[in-house]
Homo-oligomer: A and B are copies of this chain.
Amino acid sequence: MASSSKTTFVDANDLLARRAAQKRGLISFAGGLPDPALFPKRQLSQAFLSAVGADAVTALQYGWPEGSRELREQIASELAARGASVEAERIIITSGAQQAIQIATTLAGPRPRIAVEPETYPGALEIFRSARAKLVGMAEAAQLYYVMPSVSNPRGQRLSDEERLALFERARHNQGYIVEDDAYAGTRFSTGVDSPLLATHPDRVFHVGTYSKTLCPGLRIGWLVAPKRLAKRALGQKQASDLQANGLSQALLVQYLQSGHFAGLQRRARAHYRRKLRRLLAAVQRHLPQLRYTAPIGGFSLWLDCEQHLSDTRLLEAAIARGVSFDLGHRFRAAPAKTLAIRLCFSAVADADIEPGVARIAQAFAKAFSRRHSG
């Protein structure tokens, strides 16, 4: 990634992240990345060879915009196991969850009102801002309500039953749609998984999923289930965006899922990430007692904040100088705020690096916000 320093057209925040990524020995709590140690390289290679061996044309030629039938059936059966009965025909394979959110946003028309949590996924905020959306709070009238009901990002929390009911009520009342971003649903630490909102209100919900968190992001395979009355427009939008999702990834994924190894991987991943979180919580309690958090029930990250007016950018600069990085809290916020917040992703940090990494952040905190440097 040596190109980064020469790239002249990224913004200042990105430059900071890129500078960090290039630094040797840096401990990175940034990025929401799954742990590459979990990538099933051998099985994916076998799946690739099977896919190209069995039917190279399907893997390498143009395909239909909605995606591979086998893959859509697989996703339909995963959804059915979670209580949402959806015909495979209604699933559109997308280039990651990001594109699914983008399609739902486009269907809301020009300059839509979109309701978001105070802290939410920055990629969704980028989509909404490029669509010139008016961002409002979840209690307000909106055309779209963007939520992560099973496991939220950045906080790693779930919606309670009461919150779900209230959300449906509000969406119905305002004739709005819910965009259910289920990207992290498969990362719950306990085996229990909530039904998707899609299960109960398919006519009000754009359901968004992905294999990026549970398998690997490089495949760029997500999906969208749009409300029936918008399904045709959603498919048109998918086709206009990039014709179809990656055929090679789809064919490979079908073979991998048929191999039966996915359930075991998810089980291992659950234990793996839970262990990393425990280490992180212990380190934060020890080194960063001045910051608040709620323990997440899933996901890859811990959200830390406090009431003080302090700059996350200044903290990150001091942190990078000490060989550690994290995600800037302000990028997750729908509206500017002066209080400090940061996101620490534990998912891809080596176990042995977690405690020293947090200790470095604590040193950076002391340095950045000592009286001498403040103001």
Measuring CB to CB, which residues of chain A are less than 8 angstroms from any residue of chain B? 1-4, 6-11, 18, 31-34, 36, 39, 41, 44-45, 48-49, 52, 56-57, 59-64, 66, 69, 72, 87-89, 94-96, 98-99, 102, 106, 110, 123, 126-127, 130, 212, 216-220, 231-232, 234-237, 239-249, 251-252
Q: Which of B8, B57, B127, B239 contacts A89 (CB 8 A)?
A: B8
B247 and A102 contact, CB distance less than 8 A = no
A240 and B127 contact, CB distance less than 8 A = yes
17 chain-A/chain-B pairs, Cβ below 8 angstroms: A3-B88, A9-B231, A11-B236, A44-B52, A60-B219, A62-B217, A95-B241, A95-B246, A102-B240, A102-B242, A123-B240, A123-B243, A126-B240, A130-B236, A218-B248, A220-B246, A246-B246
Residues of B within 8 A of A217 (CB): 60-62, 247
Residues of B within 8 A of A39 (CB): 56-57, 60-61
CA distance A18 to B47 in the complex (A): 28
Decide: A235 near B9, CB < 8 A? Known: A61-B36, A240-B130. Answer: yes
CA distance A241 to B66 in the complex (A): 17
Residues of B within 8 A of A45 (CB): 48-49, 52
Residues of B within 8 A of A96 (CB): 242-243
B216 and A61 contact, CB distance less than 8 A = yes
Decide: A69 near B1, CB < 8 A? Known: A56-B41, A62-B31, A241-B98. Answer: yes
Q: Which of B32, B61, B69 contacts A33 (CB 8 A)?
A: B61
A41 and B52 contact, CB distance less than 8 A = yes
